[in-house]
């Protein structure tokens, strides 16, 4: 955009160039720009209080205007120094940008693997060290910081070294309450705990348009393995609501976005995702706005028609959970909502609403399902007259199955007894479920060697996976974690929370994307 506001980064660069080279003409020659370019930025620097010796407020960020009645789209990515672009990915990305009317914004990453002590600052002209950048990206450079939409910052001035194992480390509070996009060669995502009155904060990285080009030592080899040909697609609607989706190409440079496929420089539509993984449902606590946006008329599932759906924590088992406080039990009693059988019937109704006859439905075994088993093992039915009859029926069924060595799932039995669709498949612990080479069988509560599960320790198993359980969205190398489909305040998550209404799609080529809802909206619409 030619009318973009002058960023503090550009103003700062002009001030430093003049200070370094003595006058405006010499600075313009050094940066290979016009003297007018220097003068405009010096004027902006004066207004911002920027001098060669420092500035009063280095955190100021210009803001892009919201689209007037339509949708603004941006493709944010990175280019590494002294490295060529992936030709087919670049071809497909530019074709896709034309197809969806998106602006490409490229941040440069300095990584000099032959001269490790090279200066880390970016410049508009040829860097003093002699590094160069692929000519294809030069018209799209965006090495500045800008607020793309209310609460979303593009930090194009960042230069996180490409070999960083966790490129979002230490950046939780950066940007304040705003979500931040950091240019980097690895695709990562981290949801950050915020006050419940504040919008969810999610920090993102982008992937890169350049080829893998790393020092041939341990750090470089690890970075090479996690290098992603990618970009972050940002959509902003007229209301200022924004939506981010990962663009992640395969080795050929082809990629998917929702039902679109970019390959050979062309974009086609009507492609079905292999699987949709919903944020943890939690049965009767499912958020009505999420249900409407994903499974209601014109919702995500009926629009994209994934071949399979995967559900986590379908049963909340909140009415008799061992986590219940005395206050919870008093409230349930006063509201006459103590019936476990009633909760199971409500959960079966949710499953009926979200299942589709044209898509396989899979329920992953999860810790909340097992709260039901624990209740059967440990509760005393004599002290719970509301649930006594159902408890005894379920306990008898469970005990006979255990005695006879049957493959018996208590949650499956109870939910199908209550009317859940017969076609829904309930997985057992450690049962395999894979789509396009991505494991979907684990809930995420069980980590390696008996540890509690996290996206980080599950990523270390080396298997590409989609998990739930954490309730906050995350991408850590090969592990992708969905959020929730339930209310964001469940009572027991007191204090700051990183929960989000985030879901995952798995594409036919094994690449994945996280989608985060805002109310009923899951993407920007005019």
Q: Residue 117 pLDDT > 90, yes or no? A: no
Position 494 scores a pLDDT of 83
178-224 pLDDT tens trace: 999 999 999 999 999 999 889 899 999 999 999 999 988 999 999 99
What percent of the chain is modeled with pLDDT above 70?
94
Spatial separation of the C-alpha atoms in residues 142 and 381, rounded to whole Å: 65
Instruction: Tell me which of 506 and 34 has the higher pLDDT.
Output: 506
Spatial separation of the C-alpha atoms in residues 308 and 503, rounded to whole Å: 14
Spatial separation of the C-alpha atoms in residues 491 and 514, rounded to whole Å: 26
Position 128 scores a pLDDT of 43
C-alpha dihedral, 65 to 135 to 156 to 66, nearest 10°: 10
DSSP type of residue 38 = H
Position 114 scores a pLDDT of 53
113: confidence class by pLDDT, cuts 50, 70, 90: low
366-380 pLDDT tens trace: 999 999 999 999 999
Q: Are 170 and 192 in contact (CB under 8 A)?
A: no
Position 122 scores a pLDDT of 56
333: confidence class by pLDDT, cuts 50, 70, 90: low
Number of H helices, E strands in the chain: 13, 25
Q: Where is average pLDDT lowest: 45-49, 113-117, 379-383, 404-408? A: 113-117
Query: Mean pLDDT: which of 181-185, 332-336, 521-525 is highest?
Result: 181-185
Q: Are 162 and 214 in contact (CB under 8 A)?
A: yes
526: confidence class by pLDDT, cuts 50, 70, 90: low
Averaged pLDDT, 489-505? 91
14-45 pLDDT tens trace: 888 888 888 989 988 888 889 998 898 888 88
314: confidence class by pLDDT, cuts 50, 70, 90: very high
Question: Which pairs from 371-377 meet CB under 8 Å and 24+ separation?
Answer: 371/315, 371/317, 371/321, 371/322, 371/323, 372/315, 372/317, 372/340, 372/410, 372/411, 372/414, 373/398, 373/410, 374/322, 375/317, 375/320, 375/321, 375/322, 375/340, 376/410
Position 22 scores a pLDDT of 87
Averaged pLDDT, 261-268? 98
439: confidence class by pLDDT, cuts 50, 70, 90: very high
Position 498 scores a pLDDT of 95
With a CB cutoff of 8 Å and minimum separation 6, the contacts of 313 are: 280, 281, 282, 366, 367, 368, 369, 443, 468, 469
Cα→Cα distances 522→82, 178, 299, 376, Å: 38, 19, 8, 39
116: confidence class by pLDDT, cuts 50, 70, 90: very low
pTM of this structure? 0.88
Q: Residue 359 pLDDT > 70, yes or no? A: yes
Cα→Cα distances 10→146, 182, 244, 322, Å: 11, 18, 26, 57
Q: Are 459 and 479 in contact (CB under 8 A)?
A: yes
Spatial separation of the C-alpha atoms in residues 30 and 24, rounded to whole Å: 10
Averaged pLDDT, 352-365? 97
């Amino acid at each position: 955009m030619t009318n973009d506001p002058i960023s503090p980064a550009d103003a700062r660069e002009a001030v430093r160039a003049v200070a370094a080279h003595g006058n405006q003409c010499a600075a313009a020659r050094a940066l290979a720009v016009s003297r007018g370019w220097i003068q405009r930025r010096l004027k902006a620097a004066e207004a911002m209080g920027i001098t060669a010796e420092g500035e009063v407020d280095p955190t100021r960020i210009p803001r892009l205007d919201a689209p007037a009645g339509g949708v603004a789209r941006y493709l944010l990515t990175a280019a590494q120094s002294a490295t060529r672009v992936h030709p087919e990915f670049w071809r497909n990305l530019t074709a896709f940008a034309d197809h969806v009317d998106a602006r490409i914004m490229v941040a440069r990453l300095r990584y000099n693997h032959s001269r490790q002590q090279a200066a880390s600052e970016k410049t508009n002209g040829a860097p003093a060290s002699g590094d160069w950048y692929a000519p294809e990206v030069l018209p799209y450079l965006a090495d500045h910081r800008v607020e793309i939409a209310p609460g979303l910052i593009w930090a194009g001035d960042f230069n996180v070294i490409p070999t960083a194992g966790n490129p979002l480390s230490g950046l939780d509070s950066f940007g304040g309450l705003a979500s931040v996009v950091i240019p980097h060669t690895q695709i990562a995502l981290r949801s950050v705990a915020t006050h419940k009155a504040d919008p969810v904060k999610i920090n993102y990285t982008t992937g890169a348009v350049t080829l893998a080009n790393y020092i041939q030592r341990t750090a470089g080899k690890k970075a090479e393995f996690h290098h992603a040909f990618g970009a972050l697609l940002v959509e902003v609607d007229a209301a200022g609501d924004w939506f981010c989706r990962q663009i992640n190409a395969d080795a050929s440079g082809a990629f998917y976005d929702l039902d679109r496929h970019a390959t050979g420089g062309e974009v086609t539509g009507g492609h079905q995702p292999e699987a949709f993984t919903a944020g943890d449902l939690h049965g009767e606590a499912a958020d009505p706005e999420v249900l409407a946006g994903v499974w209601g008329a014109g919702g995500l599932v009926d629009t994209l028609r994934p071949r399979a759906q995967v559900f986590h924590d379908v049963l909340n088992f909140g009415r008799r959970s061992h986590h219940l406080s005395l206050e919870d039990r008093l409230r349930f009693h006063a509201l006459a909502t103590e019936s476990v059988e009633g909760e199971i019937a409500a959960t079966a109704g949710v499953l009926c609403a979200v299942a589709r006859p044209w898509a396989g439905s899979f329920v992953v075994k999860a810790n909340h399902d097992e709260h039901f088993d624990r209740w059967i093992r440990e509760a005393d039915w004599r002290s719970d007259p509301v649930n006594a009859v159902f408890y005894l029926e379920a306990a008898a069924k469970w005990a006979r199955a255990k005695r006879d060595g049957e493959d018996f799932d208590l949650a499956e039995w109870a939910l199908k007894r209550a009317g859940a669709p017969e076609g829904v498949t309930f997985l057992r612990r450690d049962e395999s479920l894979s789509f396009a080479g991505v494991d979907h069988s684990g809930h995420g509560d069980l980590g390696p060697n008996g540890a509690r599960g996290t996206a980080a320790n599950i990523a270390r198993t080396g298997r590409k996976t989609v998990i739930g359980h954490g309730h906050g969205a995350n991408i850590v190398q090969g592990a992708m974690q969905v959020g929730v489909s339930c209310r964001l305040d469940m009572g027991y998550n007191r204090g700051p929370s990183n929960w989000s209404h985030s879901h995952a799609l798995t594409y036919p080529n094994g690449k994945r994307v996280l989608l985060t809802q805002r109310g009923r909206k899951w993407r920007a619409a005019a």
